[in-house]
Amino acid sequence: MTGPRNVAVLGATGSIGRSTLDVIARHPHRFRAFALTAHSRSDELFELCVAHRPALAVLADEAQARVLRGRVAASGLPTEVLAGAQGLIAAAEHPEVACVMAAIVGAAGLAPTLAAARAGKKLLLANKEALVMAGPIFMAAVRTSGATLLPIDSEHNAIFQCLPERARGGVAGCGVRKIVLTGSGGPFRTRPLAGLAHVTPAEACAHPTWSMGRKISVDSATMMNKALEIIEAHWLFGAPASAIEILVHPQSVVHSMVEYADGSVIAQLGNPDMRTPIAQALAYPDRVDAGVASLDLARLAALTFEAPDFDRFRALALAYDVLAAGGTAPAIFNAANEVAVGAFLAGELAFPRITEVIEATLERVGADAVGRLEDVIEADARARSAAGVALGRAIVRTA
Ligand code: NAD
Ligand code: MG
């Protein structure tokens, strides 16, 4: 009998990180929280260290890591504390870690997530931005190292479950007609367009069906989240853009589906609770309790579907343009969004301008081929500076 499997949770203090720790704590004989990482909140990470007693804790912020190290030492916890970008990578590729939950938000997660892929870990991918930015490099790293890549994004986890094993690394030649990504449409699906100029960050973050971090909540409100997921599905399942469709489904119960050449459609359903895909991937190929209630379809009574509104949600159309452009275009797309969402959350940018800033950045920064990781990192930097300029113009126009 082997002991519990060591898990590194990158982004442990976030929404996905905490849901992961909830599932781990339900199965102490199967899983152990071996390493926990966070950005700068030493108090929150300290509390998680007390609750889960990891061997390793990492804070990206060096000064806060020193604070944490002092508190950990004073409490007699068995936890080594590391700091900075190198500390995050050390947690991701630690030889005693079998499984890595990549749940840092945004481009900040690229280096440690890629390190886990290169180290051949069982890699649970929530950090979609890392894959969107560096798709070809990321997938090549997984193939070369033999890492097991399991999607956590609920849609991609659903598709993974709806595909036969041989199609999971690439659907070509497997009789798949299309992949249908469902999306709730977010909090502003039916809101009159004229009212969107004045929505607040709190309104944008109040998602109707999912409880998530602030950045992805805003992405859901613009449907940029679904746009990133189109690109994510393209890389994960080797599907051409023409075989990836979006379907609006406000109840978030059908998490996505696969249509086959013979007309069969296979869907995965469940309550909107991220502990389901997290538990599916952590235990894969077994099944374990995730703490999620049974789906009560009789009580729900009706599930509804509608076509996406490509005029209201410009980001969806942009995603297909970005995939057609290829190369560094997805990294530019992602970086511009991160800058615009940051400004919106800081109260500096009106909601409808988020997508305008992204579009202006795509027009200004040309896409190049991707050969090395440096190409992606350079494109990300150029896009951030161009988005900064677009942001300045958008703010002046609004004022
Ligand atoms: P969150 O904001 O709740 O948590 C983010 C985590 O990343 C925190 O632990 C934070 O400390 C850490 N972090 C942030 N910036 C960092 C930096 N510069 N360096 C190191 N660590 C940093 O976010 P979340 O909602 O949990 O989302 C995490 C990822 O999972 C995102 O990529 C998101 O798109 C994806 N995802 C989330 C959900 C969800 O339900 N929340 C669903 C699908 C996919
Ligand atoms: Mg999703």
Domains of the chain by residue range: 5-151, 160-398
pLDDT for residue 394 is more than 90: no
Q: Are 36 and 12 in contact (CB under 8 A)?
A: yes
Mean pLDDT of 247-253: 97
> And the tokens for 140?
């090549």
Distance 154 CA to ligand 2 centre (A): 5
pLDDT at 398: 65
Q: Which ligand is nearest to the CA of 183?
A: 2
pLDDT at 82: 98
Whether residue 135 has its Cβ less than 6 Å from ligand 1: no
Which CATH class for the 5-151 domain? Answer: alpha beta
pLDDT band of 156, cuts 50, 70, 90: very high
Protein residue closest via CA to atom 30 of ligand 1: 126
Distance 216 CA to ligand 2 centre (A): 9
pLDDT at 396: 72
Distance 72 CA to ligand 1 centre (A): 24
Protein residue closest via CA to atom 4 of ligand 1: 14
Pick the CATH number of 160-398 from 3.20.10.10, 3.20.190.10, 1.10.1740.10, 3.30.70.2860: 1.10.1740.10
pLDDT at 1: 47
Residue 229 CA: distances (Å) to CA of 27, 46, 94, 226, 297: 30, 33, 29, 5, 26
Q: What is the pLDDT of residues 76-122, one digit of tens each?
A: 999 999 999 999 999 999 999 999 999 999 999 999 999 999 999 99
pLDDT band of 169, cuts 50, 70, 90: confident
- Cis peptide preceding 330, ω within 30 of 0: no
Residues 229-263 as b/e (b if ≥16 CB within 10 A, e otherwise) read bbbbbbbbbbbebebbbbbbbbebbbbbbbbbeee
Supply the mean pLDDT for the chain.
96
Protein residue closest via CA to atom 21 of ligand 1: 39
Whether residue 15 has its Cβ less than 6 Å from ligand 1: yes
Whether residue 14 has its Cβ less than 6 Å from ligand 1: yes
Mean pLDDT of 49-69: 98
Q: Are 98 and 122 in contact (CB under 8 A)?
A: yes
CA dihedral 195, 199, 203, 208 (to 10 degrees): 40
pLDDT band of 393, cuts 50, 70, 90: confident
> And the tokens for 376?
């992606």
Residue 179 CA: distances (Å) to CA of 46, 251, 257, 325: 42, 19, 6, 21
pLDDT band of 399, cuts 50, 70, 90: low
Determine the Cα–Cα distance for residues 179 and 171; give it in Å rounded to an integer.
10
Query: 5-151 and 160-398 share one CATH topology?
Result: no
Residue in the block written with tokens 């590194």: 8
Q: Are 123 and 130 in contact (CB under 8 A)?
A: no
Nearest CA to 238 among 377, 325, 131, 102?
131
List the shell of residues around ion ligand 2, using CB closer than 5 Å: 153-155
Which contacts of 342-345 are long-range, i.e. CB under 8 A and separated by 24 or more positions?
Answer: 343/391, 343/395, 344/201, 344/204, 344/218, 345/201, 345/214, 345/215, 345/218
pLDDT at 168: 85
- Residue 303 has, within 13 A of its CA and on its CB side, a CA count of 17
Atom of ligand 1 nearest to the CA of 16: 26
Angle at 211 between CA 38 and CA 68, to 5 degrees: 20
In three-state secondary structure terms, 157 is: helix
Whether residue 59 has its Cβ less than 6 Å from ligand 1: no
Mean pLDDT of 158-173: 93
Protein residue closest via CA to atom 6 of ligand 1: 11
Is the Cα dihedral 169, 19, 331, 240 positive or negative? Answer: positive
> And the tokens for 308?
């996406």
Q: Which ligand is nearest to the CA of 16?
A: 1
Whether residue 103 has its Cβ less than 6 Å from ligand 1: yes
Mean pLDDT of 27-32: 98
Determine the Cα–Cα distance for residues 150 and 202; give it in Å rounded to an integer.
32
Is the Cα dihedral 281, 282, 283, 284 positive or negative? Answer: positive
Q: What is the pLDDT of residues 282-298, one digit of tens each?
A: 999 999 999 999 999 99
pLDDT at 49: 98
Higher pLDDT, 392 or 24: 24
